[in-house]
Amino acid sequence: MKAHEIFIRIRYGETDQMGVVHHGNYALYLEMGRTEWLRAFGISYDEMEKNGVMLPVISMALNFKKSAYYDEVIKVKTQLKKTPSVKIEFEYEISNEAGEILVEANTVLAFVNMKTKRPMKCPDYILDQL
């Protein structure tokens, strides 16, 4: 399925005293990858919300293989796992400048109607973009 890549330089505040990225920051990196993946395919979170659609994360799994360090540039590759229905699932691979895989991850998000707070089918305008 369709993939997209972004590059992020690790900031000092994202690391501990040893210069290693704190594990909690990876959720933000995944969000950045996912948001830019959607944007690359003509879908904006802002527009979805204006159309009454939320995408809360309902599942997140990360498998840490190596550490990322201060001032490194990491690549976040985001890929759609399958055609969305009520849920949309992404797989991620985060690697360093040497091409070493640092993290493999997966997230599942649910399409939710903002008024009813109930799950809904993926809107047709999103499926059309994909």
* pTM, entire model: 0.92
Would you please indicate which residues are annotated as catalytic (active-site) residues? Answer: 16
What does the domain layout of the chain look like in residue ranges? 3-129
Other Cβ atoms less than 10 A from the Cβ of 89: the count is: 17
Which residues are CB-contacts of 66 (< 8 A; sequence separation ≥ 6)? 96, 100, 101, 102
Percent of the chain with pLDDT over 70: 99
The CATH architecture of the domain made up of 3-129 is Roll (3.10)
Contact between 55 and 110 under an 8 Å Cβ cutoff? The reply is: yes
User: 130 or 7: whose pLDDT is higher?
Assistant: 7
pLDDT (tens digit per residue) in 65-117: 999 999 999 999 999 999 999 999 999 999 999 999 999 999 999 999 999 99
C-alpha to C-alpha distance for 130 and 122, rounded to whole angstroms = 11
Whether 1 has a pLDDT exceeding 80, the answer reads: no
